[in-house]
Amino acid sequence: MALLEIKNLSLKIGAFQALKRVDLAIDPGEIRALVGESGSGKSMTALSIMKLLPSGAKAEGQIRFNGKDILAASEADMCQLRGDDIGMVFQEPMTALNPVKTIGEQVAEGIRQHTRASRAVAEEQTCAILDRVGLPTSKFPLRRYPHELSGGQRQRVVIAIACALKPKLLIADEPTTALDVVLQAQILELLQSLVDEQKMGLLLISHDLAVVADTAHSITILRHGEVMDNGETTQILTEQTHPYTRQLAQASMHVPDRTSHQHVRSQGSLLSARNLERSYRGSRSGLFARSEDTKAVDDVSFDLQQGQSMALVGRSGCGKSTLARMILALDRPTAGEIKFGNQRIDHLKEDALRPVRQNMQVVFQDPYGSFNPRHKADRLVAEPLYLLDRPLSSSEKRDRIDAALERVGIPRKDRDKYPHEFSGGQRQRLAIARAIITEPKLIVADEPVSALDVSIRAQILDLFADLNGRLGIAYLFITHDLAVARAITDTVMIMSNGKIVERGNTGEVLRNPQSDAGRALVQASPDLHKALARRIGEQG
């Protein structure tokens, strides 16, 4: 008998049909991938299993878990199942964790709730599961808070919470989206080992076909709430008999065309960093004692030319974001200097930075988090216009907004919409429109496509390449996705422990990395062709 069996599941939220007659099953010890674009119904399927649907949602059909009818179960029954027999790993660990509770408290909470264990026993089990997920208490004390951990470490805490009581079914909703490739490989290996050891069923929700090909035994592909393709992973992704499966596979291997509108690059340095360092004081460990200072960035120097596209890659916690904050003049270096054009900017006060900020903009990883949800698109896109030398009239401002929206492929009529009325890909286009409205010379893009599905990612990369060619904008791409670095950048810098350990032409460096950090990143980077070839070889 299947551990989880879903038959003819349909879901309506108000008048919107979110799911249409979805069928899937998971056996003990099986990893099933649920794949599809944003809005395809992947998360709604997971929330239906957990019975955590929004108010107004009406589910029909059948969901049976271990013989129990989930849709007919009471809330008290579901409270017993959630966290005990069914665990869930959410996509964004920082929102899944309580910021005012220590990691030890949060892992132990579920153990004590379901087993009525004493505090000492719960703490012992907490230490054991945290050690199992790679967070030994000798290095990561239970008294730490979520904000004191990196993104990958927080994701491990969420996995520890979900797996603390050895559930029969684990639902992992994009568990590796925001992680670097080495951490991603470690998390996926961890999940696979838990499945093998405990014969647990795993529903892996992902938009990365390379990850799915490397990990999942079976696959279900959704589009607009309907199952498009279903079966054994290697067969489905190799034969690609369904047109939509073929479309997803082509998008996952998409390389932007950067030959058109080639912009003549200036030989002068647009951005120059020399011997940058950034240290943070150690925390107090006693009345008169402090732990050692942390050096987040250590003696970093580089030059970025006008119109150049450069990637900054490295593992979580290596110092990429700290370096980006110093370049954007949001943080001051402990030592060294930064020049933008011919002007040194690392010591400037806020008023003197206005003309610099006009020519230097940023695109964040999560556009929804960087937008005020109460403002409409036109106001959000127009926010940087206060940096211009003179105030614009209403008509000039409207023309600027329309031009920026047109450049990123958003219709002018959508300027009166709120952020929640756009899809994930459209919100990222709005973020790019906001960044280019002042006609900057440099854009710092912090993981701009990591949270997007493969089809939308291909469109956004095409847009970045087009803007680079037409407008001559220079890019500093902070990314953990080596496929993105290969597709969109000319040069790459590999960062490890605060230092730049390797740099050069993107293709050459990523084809034959010379540093240990570079080799680790390339080796761990998922590749659809290689994964399928390995699986076919294993299956004979």
User: How far is Cα 365 from Cα 360, in angstroms, rounded to an integer?
Assistant: 17
Supply the pTM of this predicted model.
0.79
Q: Where are the alpha helices (DSSP H) in 412-527?
A: 424-436, 454-471, 482-488, 506-511, 516-524
Per-residue pLDDT of the chain (540 residues; tens, 9 = 90+): 789 999 999 999 888 899 999 999 999 999 999 998 877 888 889 999 999 988 888 999 999 998 899 999 999 999 888 888 999 988 777 778 999 999 999 999 989 988 888 999 999 999 999 988 888 888 889 999 988 887 678 888 998 998 888 899 999 988 877 677 887 888 888 889 889 888 899 999 988 888 899 899 999 999 999 999 999 999 999 999 999 999 888 887 766 655 544 444 555 689 999 999 999 877 666 666 777 778 889 999 999 999 999 999 988 778 888 999 999 999 899 999 999 988 999 888 888 888 888 899 998 877 777 888 899 999 999 999 988 888 888 899 999 999 989 888 888 889 899 988 887 678 888 988 999 898 899 999 988 887 677 777 788 888 888 888 888 899 999 987 788 888 889 999 999 999 999 999 999 999 999 999 999 999 888 888 888 888 888 776
Q: What is the structure's pLDDT at 267?
A: 58
Q: Identify each DSSP E strand in 248-307 by its residue range.
A: 269-280, 294-305
Domain 309-328+348-524 part of CATH 1.10.630.10: no
Q: Which long-range contacts (CB under 8 A, 24 or more apart) does 455-460 make?
A: 455/37, 455/247, 455/248, 455/251, 456/37, 456/38, 456/423, 456/424, 456/425, 456/428, 457/251, 457/254, 457/484, 458/251, 458/254, 458/256, 459/409, 459/425, 460/425, 460/428, 460/429, 460/432
**Position of tokens 């997971």?**
46
Q: If you count DSSP H runs as helices and E runs as strands, how many of each does the chain have, helices first?
A: 21, 20
Cβ neighbours of 229 (radius 10 Å) = 21
Query: For 77-101, b where at least 16 C-beta lie within 10 A, e where not — what string?
Result: eeeebbbbbbbbbbbbbbebbeeee
Q: Which residues contact 124 (CB under 8 A, 6 or more apart)?
A: none
Beta pairing class for 201-206 and 269-280 = unpaired
Strand order in the sheet with 491-496: 360-363, 442-446, 474-478, 309-314, 491-496, 499-505
How do the domains of the chain map onto residue ranges?
A: 86-166, 309-328+348-524
Phi, psi (rounded to 5 degrees) for 318: -80, -10
User: How far is Cα 317 from Cα 319, in angstroms, rounded to an integer?
Assistant: 6
